[in-house]
Amino acid sequence: LYAKGRVLGFKRAKRNQRPDISLVQIEGVKTAADTEFYLGKRVAFVYRAKREVNGSKIRCIWGRITRAHGGSGAVKARFRNNLPAKSFGASVRVMMYPS
């Protein structure tokens, strides 16, 4: 019940990067016009950790898709806490809500 996406990196210029906004590529989305459906949708970066928190070793960082990035379907997302740089290339879940 979610679309798969990949974290491409932080918002950046050639030599400076802004870690508060991450770029995400959603599977199957190839043009900026297609991204309109996903704007505002919630995104979850799910990862595993060694230490158990609240009974689970799986943790999640929530965020939302804010706007399109470029003309080929990439998208900018803002997370509650900035994504760790370790997440570049990792999968991200793009939920279908808020619908």
Partner 1 sequence: MVHKPRNSLLTAGVNKYSRSQVVAKRVLYKRKPAGAVAVCPAAANKTVEVKGAKNGGSRVIAAAKAPRFYAAEDVALPKKNRKHAGVAKLRSTIVPGTVLILLAGRYRGKRVVFLKQLESGLLLVSGPFKVNGVPLKRVNQAYVIATSTKVELDASKIDAQLNDAYFARPKAAKKAATEEAFFEGEKKKEPLAENKVALQKATDKVILEAVNKVEHLRQYLSAKFSLSKGQAPHALQF
| Interaction site with partner 1 (CB under 8 A) | 1-3, 26-29, 34-38, 95-99
35 SS3 class: helix
Which CB atom, from 30 or from 82, has the smaller least distance to partner 1?
A: 30
> Bridge-partner residues for 42, per DSSP?
64
Q: Nearer Cβ to partner 1, position 51 or 80?
A: 80
- Amino acid present at 86: K
- Give 19 or 42: the residue with its C-beta nearer to partner 1: 42
Minimum separation from the CB atom of position 1 to partner 1 (A): 5
